Amino acid sequence: MNDQTPTDDLNASGYVPPRVPDPGQVPEPGRLPPGSRLPFDRNALFTGRSEPLLDLARGLLHGQVASALITQAIQGMGGIGKTQLAVEFAYRYGRFFHGVHWLNCAVPGAISAEIAVCGCGVHYVKRSWNQRRCQKCRQADREGHRK
């Protein structure tokens, strides 16, 4: 294969997620899987909202349908805590996935770079391809093209 083709094992880190908690249990916050990308720290003052966290967990971890694509959406007016809920979910449930990857989709033309950065972080791509692409992503970060 040429060096532009992603070839590494999808679980290159060797990380094995722990057993998923019971559907009615909100786990304590924990570490994110290796290679995860979440540009927000956990809010130590986050409180309550157990039901929305459990709803997300039911949709993402306890779904009845096996699928390669699983989606959930958090919607509402600005300022009601959608981002905080998503961040809290990531820190409480992220370890039960192979990775947590935050994409900033505010600039549609930058979405492919956002995805590439996630792939670089978990070594989903061959090292020589990874180094070239990640250098471009880091340069874009420094120049402020991506947030």
Q: Which pTM value belongs to this model? A: 0.72
pLDDT at 35: 86
What average pLDDT does the structure give for the chain?
77
Q: Which residues contact 123 (CB under 8 A, 6 or more apart)?
A: 8, 12, 13, 35, 130
Please state, in angstroms and rounded to a whole number, the distance separating the CA atoms of residues 113 and 111.
5
Looking at per-residue pLDDT, the higher value among 60 and 120 belongs to 60
What is the rounded (10 degree) CA torsion for 90, 34, 120, 125?
-120
